Structure 1
Amino acid sequence: MRLKYVLNEVLIGLWRNITMTIAMMITLSVSLTMLGASALMYLQVGQMKDFYYAKIEVSIFLTEDITDGQRAGIDAALTASPLVRDKVYETKAQALARFRKMFRDSPTLVDAVRPDTLPESFRVKLKDPEAYDEFTRQLAGRPGIQLIVDQREVLGKVFRVFSSIQLLALVIASVMAVAGLLLVGNIIQVAAYSKRREVAVMKLVGASNWFIQAPFVLEAMAAGLAGSLLAFGGLYAGKVLLLDGPLQALSKLMTPIPDGNLWLMLPLLAAAGAGTSGVAGWITLRFHIRV
C-alpha cells in the first residue's frame, strides 16, 4: 500500500508540474548528451591512439652525397636493431611516385616537385613507438643521415585538438548540468510548497521523513531518467544519421565508433541522470524545505 501511494504521488507530481518537468527533462538531456559525447570522444581518442600508433613510421632521410657503403651501414644497423619491427628502403623515384599518389588531387603542387627534390629514405616501424628516443640515439651521428622524423609529432598535434574538443564538451556539459540541477531544486520546492498541507498532516500522524520525501525524490529521478533516455536517443541518432551517413568520410580520419561503446552510454547516462537528480532533490528537501 505504501509503495502504491508513493508511486501514485510521483505520477501526480509529475503531471501537476508538467511544463517544469518537461523543461527539466530537456535541460538534463542536453547536458547528458554533451556528457555522453565527451565520454565517447575520450574512448575514441584512446582507440585512435592505439590504432595510429601501431601504424607509425619513423622516416630516416638520407643525404644527397651518401655513399653505397654508408647506405649499407645504415641498412645493417636497422636490421640488427632489436627496436625495429620492419623497414623499407625508398628510392627518389619511389618517393616521387608516392608523393604524386598522395597529392594527385593537387596537380599544381605535383608539377612543382622535380624528380630529384625528394630524398631517398628508410621507412621504419618500431616494435614500440614510445622507444623513438632510444632508436634515435642508436643512429645519432651516423654518416649519410640527413634527418630523422617521427610521425608521432604530427599525430600528437591532432590528438591535442581532439583533447581540446573533449575538454570543451565536458565544460559545456558541466554548465548545463548545474543549470539542470538548479531546475530540479526549483521544481522540488514548488512541488513541496503546493503540498505543504498534506505534508503537515502526515507529520501530525507520525509519518517518517523518508515516507514524506520519497515521492519528491522519485519525481526528480524519474525526470532525470527520462532526460538520460532522450540523451541516449540523441547520441544514437547522431551516429546513425550523421557519422554513418553524410559524415561517413570522417572514418578515414577517425576510427569507427564501436556499437559497444555507444550502448555503454545508456547505463552510464541513466545512472548519471537519475542519480544526480535524486541527490539534488534530496539535498533540496534536506536543507531548504522543512518536512
Structure 2
Amino acid sequence: MRHTLRETWSGLRRNGSMTLAVIVTMWVSLSLFGAGLMTMQQVDLIKGKWYDKIEISLFMCVKDSQGGTCEPGKDVTQAQREQIKQRLEAHPEVQEVFYESREEAYEEFKKTFSDSPILDSLTVDQMQDSFRVKLKDPAQYAGVVEQAKVMPGVQNVQDLHKVLDPLFNWLRALQWGTIGLSVLLLLAAALQIGNTIRMAAFSRRRELGIMRLVGASNSYIMLPFLLESLVAGLVGAALACATLAFGYWSIIVKNAEVSIQALRWITWQHAGLAMAAVVLVAVLLAIIPTLLATRKSLRV
C-alpha cells in the first residue's frame, strides 16, 4: 500500500499542470451540473404549489359587460347559471365547483381596496358573480377552458395557466441549458482525465513493463492511476460542493427566502441531494476514463 500511495503522489506531482486543469474543469462542470439539479428541484416545488392551487374562474355577464357569450344590455339569467354549473360538474376533469355571488365579490372587493380611492367607483350591481373550478389534475385544464368559453352567459374565463406555463417553460429551458452545458464540460473533463492517465502510463512504460514481468496483477498496476484520477475528481467535487453551498446560502437563504416569503424554496436537504449527485458523478468520471485509458497499455 505504501508503494501505491508513493506512486500516486509521484504521478500527481509529475502531471501537476494536467491535474490542475482536470480539477478546474471538473469544478466548473460539476458546479453547473449541481446548479441545474437544484434549479430542477426549485421548479418542481414552485410548480407543485401553484398548480395545486390554481383554479379556473368563470365570470358571468352583466348589463354593461362585453365579449364572451354576453347579450348586449342583459345579465346572465338564473337558468344560464344552473346550466353552467351542471355542465361544469359533469365534466370528467372537474373536481369541485364553487359559486361566488355579486354580494360576496363586492365584500371581497371592499376588503382588498379598503384604503384605496377606487373603493367608491363600483357598486354591487356592477360586480360580476362567478364560478371557480377546482380540477382533479391541474395540468389537464385546456378542455375545461375551451368548453367554458362557449357557455351562454360567460363573459370571461380567467386561467392563470396561460401566465404560469411560459414562466415554467423558460425555467425548464434554463435548467436543461445549464445541465447540457455541464455535460459538455464533464465530457471535456473525462477526455482530459483519459489523456492524463495515458500520458502518465506512457512516461512510466519501462517501469510498468518490469512490473508485468515480475507478475504484478492488473489491479495492482492500475491502482496508482485510479487514485490519481480519483483525487483530482474528488478535489473538483469538493470545490463544486463548496460553490453550491455558498450559492445556496447567499442566493436562497440570505435573499430569496427573506424577500419572497410566499414561495416555497428548496432546503439544505435539496442542496445536499444535488451535492451527493455531484460527488457520485465525479467518482464515475474519475474511474471510467481511467479504466478505458489503461486497458490496453496495462494489459498483462
TM-score by length of 1: 0.80
- Tell me the secondary structure at the aligned position of residue 132 of structure 2: strand
Q: CA deviation at 1:46?
A: 2.1
Q: 2:46 aligns with which of 32, 45, 48?
A: 48
2:61 corresponds in structure 1 to: 63
The verdict on how the C-alpha distance between 1:249 and 1:144 changes in structure 2, with shifts beyond 3 A counting, is farther
CA distance in 2, matches of 1:288, 1:163: 44
CA contact (8 A) 2:57 2:159 kept: yes
1:191 corresponds in structure 2 to: 200
Q: 1:177 aligns with which of 186, 193, 205?
A: 186
Q: Please list every run of 5 or more consecutive structure 2 residues that lacks an aligned counterpart in the other structure.
A: 63-73
1:15-41 C-alpha deviation (Å, 9 max, x unpaired): 333332222112101111111111222
Q: 2:14 aligns with which of 13, 16, 32?
A: 16
CA distance in 2, matches of 1:259, 1:78: 46
CA distance in 2, matches of 1:50, 1:123: 20
2:276 corresponds in structure 1 to: 267
What is the RMSD computed on CA atoms of the aligned residues?
A: 3.3
- Larger CA deviation: 133-142 vs 173-182: 133-142
CA contact (8 A) 1:222 1:274 kept: no
Q: 2:221 aligns with which of 196, 203, 212?
A: 212
The verdict on how the C-alpha distance between 1:165 and 1:190 changes in structure 2, with shifts beyond 3 A counting, is same
1:87 corresponds in structure 2 to: 98
CA distance in 2, matches of 1:99, 1:172: 46
CA distance in 1, matches of 2:189, 2:89: 61
CA distance in 2, matches of 1:280, 1:252: 45
The verdict on how the C-alpha distance between 1:159 and 1:98 changes in structure 2, with shifts beyond 3 A counting, is farther
CA distance in 1, matches of 2:5, 2:101: 73
Q: Please list every run of 5 or more consecutive structure 1 residues that lacks an aligned counterpart in the other structure.
A: none
CA distance in 1, matches of 2:249, 2:260: 13
CA contact (8 A) 1:95 1:120 kept: no
1:278 corresponds in structure 2 to: 287
Q: 2:152 aligns with which of 143, 153, 167?
A: 143
2:69 corresponds in structure 1 to: none
- Larger CA deviation: 90-99 vs 208-217: 90-99
CA distance in 2, matches of 1:130, 1:226: 43
CA distance in 1, matches of 2:167, 2:258: 17
CA contact (8 A) 2:36 2:178 kept: yes
CA contact (8 A) 1:32 1:173 kept: yes
Alignment length (residue pairs) = 281
- Larger CA deviation: 24-33 vs 123-132: 123-132
CA distance in 1, matches of 2:24, 2:148: 59
1:7 corresponds in structure 2 to: 5
The verdict on how the C-alpha distance between 1:249 and 1:122 changes in structure 2, with shifts beyond 3 A counting, is farther
- Tell me the secondary structure at the aligned position of residue 54 of structure 1: helix
Q: Amino acid of the residue matched to residue 225 of structure 2?
A: F
1:153-197 C-alpha deviation (Å, 9 max, x unpaired): 222111101110011101210121122112212221232233223
1:186-213 C-alpha deviation (Å, 9 max, x unpaired): 2212322332232122122121222212
1:256 aligns with 2:265: yes
Q: CA deviation at 1:267?
A: 2.6
- Tell me the secondary structure at the aligned position of residue 244 of structure 2: helix
- Tell me the secondary structure at the aligned position of residue 100 of structure 2: strand
- Larger CA deviation: 53-62 vs 139-148: 139-148
1:61-102 C-alpha deviation (Å, 9 max, x unpaired): 22233245257526854896683436252647568668869x
- Tell me the secondary structure at the aligned position of residue 131 of structure 2: strand
- Tell me the secondary structure at the aligned position of residue 210 of structure 2: helix
The verdict on how the C-alpha distance between 1:250 and 1:34 changes in structure 2, with shifts beyond 3 A counting, is farther
- Larger CA deviation: 232-241 vs 132-141: 132-141
Q: Amino acid of the residue matched to residue 52 of structure 1?
A: W
CA contact (8 A) 2:45 2:266 kept: no
CA contact (8 A) 1:59 1:122 kept: yes
| Identical amino acids, percent of aligned pairs | 28
CA distance in 2, matches of 1:130, 1:18: 53
1:245 corresponds in structure 2 to: 254
- Larger CA deviation: 246-255 vs 217-226: 246-255
CA contact (8 A) 2:89 2:96 kept: no
Q: 1:132 aligns with which of 106, 129, 141?
A: 141
